Amino acid sequence: MMRYICSVLLLLLCISIHAQNNFTDSLKKYSYSELQQKFYQYNNDDKEKAKQVSKYYLQKAKTENETDQIEEGYVLAHLSENQDISLRYLDSLLVFTKNSTKNTYPARVYLLKGNLYYKFDNQSKALENYLLALKYAKEKKNKRQIAFADINIAYLNNYIGKHEEAAKTLRYYLRNAKYLNENELGDIHSSLADVYLDYNNLDSANVLIKEGVKLYQSKDDYKYYRYLYLSGLYNFKLKNYKQAINILSKCKDYFLSHSNDLNINYTLLYLGKSYDALGQKDIAAKNFIEIDSIIQKDKSTFPELREIYPFLIEYYKELQDKEKQLYYIDRFLEVDKVLDSQFRYISRELPKKYDAPNLLKEKESIINSLENRRNLLYISVSILILGLSLLGYFYYKSKKSEREFKKRAQDLLHSVYEKDKIITQQKIQVETQFEKKIERPIQNTPVEIIEEDTKEKPSVSGASAEVMQAILQELSMFESKEQFLKKGISLSSLAKKIKTNSKYLSETINTHKEKNFAGYLNDLRIDYAISRLAKDRKFRSYKIPFIAEELGYNNEQAFTLAFKKRTGTPLSVYLKEIEKSEN
């Protein structure tokens, strides 16, 4: 029996080798350009045949000693392999082109390496290679490669939340890079629409989406469905959830059968979020579970994964399925660790290695232009010295501020942990004081005390001490029930709620809280945020715009500005210190 099995296996191997040899022999009649076309045709549907074409291409080029074709052979060969083998081909290309006089090398190799690392979800390595590509492209003055490096770095800027910076770069090349071809400009066009959606520039996004849908509807299926997905996301942002589901469902069917990139993950993400918004949690969970399955298979991540795992954890908690709940907690911690390390690296290295050199280049250009005008030589030198002095001063100031922010954040965090103890002590003191007041003679009743206080702080609006005391009691309930978190609270709406008028309420807050109404409301919200962010990891995992909305703010900027004004330290620094303390 064993001999029979071995014979069958040997026969199948021989048939396979024979088929491969026949296929390789069939390639001999094609030119290099035709072989390239064959490769790209097979690379989408039949990776094995694509590999055979690329190997034959490279071997043919080496046999015929065709330098240009050897280079292209290495490029083709790396496209259909796994990461390790692909990197070996690219390293071989780097060695082969070491002494090349072409203005495309070595930047081309580093661009390809960057793309490869990005494809396999290693953003930190991708950034390193894009920066090297940019350096060599600038040395060789290759405009196309400079554009490619800048554009890919813009994608990484978008990854860490610098959406407007990314949009600025993409918009510049879309409008000014006439040296890029139609496909390249088309990719920038769709990416810019995506970035606009990321920071809710919906009108600009919609213009680009409509252009893309119209252009590719009968021309290119993949690009058409890419814009259709963006249209679904646009409707989601507008809270047109049924329309979003209708569009994204079509995209899901297409991407599952035609694409293995992030498009399917993002389609499933916003499809799930749309169902969740309509209260259909079971279908939402099904889509999120599908994402988890895909990323485990592809070994990929993306920032929005932080949104799906808290949902699944809570979903299975409600179903009382502890095993699934524990499983998704573990998955969340695993994914969050990867995302956090990549986010921190790119956030640290991008400004240092990309923004700073660009600023220095700009400065150098200014200095050179001044030096060319001899009559302004002394002025240019003075400006240079002053600029360097200011740079040093601002650097010193920024470092000092950084240390101060960090210290304030640490103090803030410490105060949160001590707060419960302090509140308890204050309650005991208040109760003691209250007991003492009750024991006083009749002439020192609370009514007379209020009158004395009122005499010290005369009422402008005519509000009596009793009225102010009643308002203060209502404000105490307003604070204890955390009603300040509701959106749209105004002086008049709160006055109406506690059955007084705006003048009395305003004066009571100014007199007894020693701040105006807006400051009073902001301080309550920020104090709440300080405590909850420190204690509630799930709340802290949400995106800042969501946290801002939970706290009653209309947008992220209003929240972050209020946080810094109240605490003296930026929100980002406070969050970092919380993470450090937990680790």
Residue labelled with tokens 């699944």 = 312
Residue 173 lies in a domain: no
The tens digit of pLDDT for each residue in 81-104 reads 888 999 999 999 999 999 999 999
Q: Output helix, strand, coil percentages for the chain, rounded to the nearest 5.
A: 85, 0, 15
Which segments of 140-240 does DSSP mark as H helices, in order? Answer: 143-159, 163-176, 182-198, 202-216, 221-237
What's the rounded Cα separation, in Å, for the pair 199 and 457?
Answer: 48
CATH code, 295: 1.25.40.10
Residue 349 lies in a domain: no
pLDDT at 531: 87
Query: HEC string of 187-212?
Result: HHHHHHHHHHHHCCCHHHHHHHHHHH
Q: What range defines the domain where residue 550 resides?
A: 443-582
pLDDT at 533: 87
30-34 long-range contacts, CB within 8 A, separation 24+: 32/57, 32/60, 32/61, 32/66, 32/69, 32/72
Residue 372 lies in a domain: no
CATH code, 566: 1.10.10.60
Residue 168 lies in a domain: no
Residue 510 lies in a domain: yes
Please state, rounded to an integer, the average pLDDT across all residues of the chain.
83
Domain count, the chain: 2
What's the rounded Cα separation, in Å, for the pair 317 and 307?
Answer: 16
Task: Name residues whose C-beta falls within 8 Å of residue 329's C-beta, 6 or more positions apart in sequence.
Answer: 309, 313
Last residue of a domain, one of 280, 300, 320: 300
Percent above pLDDT 90 for the chain: 41
Residue 313 lies in a domain: no
Residue 207 lies in a domain: yes
pLDDT at 260: 62
pLDDT at 385: 77
Residue labelled with tokens 């946080």 = 563
pLDDT at 51: 87
Last residue of a domain, one of 283, 300, 317: 300
What's the rounded Cα separation, in Å, for the pair 382 and 18?
Answer: 77
Structure-block tokens of residue 296: 């485990």
Structure-block tokens of residue 291: 């994402």
User: Greatest CA separation found in the chain?
Assistant: 114
Residue 229 lies in a domain: yes
Of the candidates 348, 354, 349, 356, the one whose C-alpha atom is nearest the C-alpha of residue 395 is: 356
pLDDT at 442: 41
pLDDT in tens, the chain (583 residues): 555 454 544 444 444 444 455 777 788 888 899 888 888 888 777 778 888 889 989 998 999 999 999 999 999 999 888 889 999 999 999 999 999 999 999 999 999 999 998 888 888 888 899 999 999 999 999 999 999 999 999 988 888 888 999 999 999 999 999 999 999 999 999 999 999 999 999 999 999 999 999 999 988 999 999 999 999 999 999 999 999 999 999 999 999 887 666 889 999 999 999 999 999 999 999 999 999 999 898 878 888 888 899 999 999 999 999 999 999 999 998 888 888 887 777 677 767 666 555 655 544 555 665 566 655 556 666 676 777 767 767 777 777 878 888 888 888 888 877 776 666 666 667 666 655 655 554 444 343 333 334 444 555 556 678 888 889 998 889 888 888 888 889 889 888 888 888 888 888 889 888 889 889 899 999 999 898 888 888 888 889 999 989 888 989 999 899 999 988 999 999 889 888 887 7
What's the half-sphere exposure (Cβ side, CA atoms, 13 Å) at 510? 14
Last residue of a domain, one of 261, 283, 300: 300
